[in-house]
A and B are shown apart, each in its own frame.
Chain A
Amino acid sequence: VAAGAVSVLNINGTLHGEEIGMMDVDENDGANGTTREDLVQRVALMEAMIAEGRQATGRYGWNFVLWGLVDIVGLVWQSAKPHWWGAWPIAITVGVVLQIVGVRIFYCRATTTLKNRTLRSIWQVMGVTMCLYCFSGALAHRANGIAYLAAVFMMLGMAHSISAVILRWGVQGGVGALWLGGGVACYFVPGRWLNWLFLIEMVVGMVVFGLYAMMLERRRARQAPVMRHG
């Protein structure tokens, strides 16, 4: 029996997919007359399908790219017109609209896993919290303090770090650390550096990370083994 056959017998274990043969159209075959080869084929089939199911993930990388760009636009706009109140509310509103459009394009509710639902919930709640926090700060014209920016960084650091723990993904853990470190740095760097700190965090911790996640999602989709007829 192939080594892979052993691993599939524990369906909770880590499995590796392999090429599987054709699918019978006549599915009325029972277990009678099953040969040893048939059984080994069934093991390989289970292994491939479980591996395939585990690879089913959503497409979320674009969210990071979108919000990174929205925040960069907000920052540049605010820097160009420092006393104009509208930069952030408009940038965030446009971001929310693009988010809704993006969800319609990218989001596919073909499958649901507890892990995906948990991650989605964390980021949805974080997004709503962030919007409320930023909007109320901007509307009250009290969004300029260091603590305000540090809190934004910390919220993002927390969401990234929780996601990294759930996904056991070191890269996102690094991004979480980058945001948390940025939140701490806000209190220690000179005030004139804050915009640069914000810009670096957004470029690296959102745009670059989002592009990397999108690249991985595409690669995973290409590598996914699909069962074929014939």
Chain B
Amino acid sequence: MGEGLPELDPVVHGKLRLAVLSLLVTQEEADFTWLREKTGSTDGNLGAQMLKLEEAGYVAMEKRFQGRKPQTVYRMTAKGREALAGYVAALKRLLGGAL
């Protein structure tokens, strides 16, 4: 990346994290198993990446029960939406010449 070009948010840039944020932007909320299924990820890898997104404040996690089954539900925060929009804007600038 050259001088003057926008920085890409490293938290958003990770492939799995970007995939999760792109999925969550279309939903009010989604549970862990759905995200795992859609991304083809493993429990451990997805769990670690979700923790990073949570620590960055991009997603909010809630644990609850559906009947007797425990369920971990994620929703994108306003900060996460801003970060994704910023990432898209940066991508636009970086790829702008060819778009």
Contacts and interface: CB of A to CB of B under 8 A. Distances in A.
Nearest to A21: B15
A109 B27 contact: no
Which bucket holds chain B's interface residue count? 35 or more
A39 B91 contact: yes
A112 B28 CA distance: 5
B48 to A, nearest CB: 7
A56 B39 CA distance: 13
A31 B25 contact: no
A11 B27 contact: no
B61 interface: no
Given A31-B13, A227-B40, A6 B34 contact: no
Contacts of A43: 91, 95
B25 A23 contact: no
Given A34-B13, A39-B91, A226-B37, A6 B19 contact: no
Interface stretch (A44-52, A128-136, A162-170): A44-52
Contacts of B79: none
Contacts of B33: 110
Chain B facing A: main interface SS:
helix
Contacts of B7: 31
Given A11-B88, A23-B15, A31-B1, A1 B26 contact: no
Given A49-B22, A53-B26, A109-B71, A31 B10 contact: yes
Contacts, number: 132
A25 B45 contact: yes
Interface in B35-79: 37-41, 45, 48-49, 52, 66-67, 71
Interface in A31-77: 31-32, 34, 36, 39-40, 42-43, 45-46, 49-50, 52-54, 56
Contacts of B20: 49
Contact of A24 (B9, B15, B23, B30): B15
A45 B23 contact: no
A26 to B, nearest CB: 9
Nearest to A47: B22
Most buried by B among A29, A46, A52: A46
Given A27-B48, A226-B40, A56 B26 contact: yes
B91 A9 contact: yes
Interface residues of A, number: 41
Contact of A1 (B27, B28, B34, B95): B95
Contacts of B48: 27
Interface of B: 1, 7-10, 13-20, 22-31, 33-34, 37-41, 45, 48-49, 52, 66-67, 71, 84-85, 88, 91-92, 94-95, 98-99
12 contacts: A23-B19, A27-B16, A42-B18, A49-B18, A49-B22, A49-B39, A56-B27, A56-B34, A56-B38, A110-B31, A111-B30, A113-B27
Interface of A: 1, 5-6, 8-9, 11, 23-25, 27-32, 34, 36, 39-40, 42-43, 45-46, 49-50, 52-54, 56, 104, 109-114, 117, 226-229
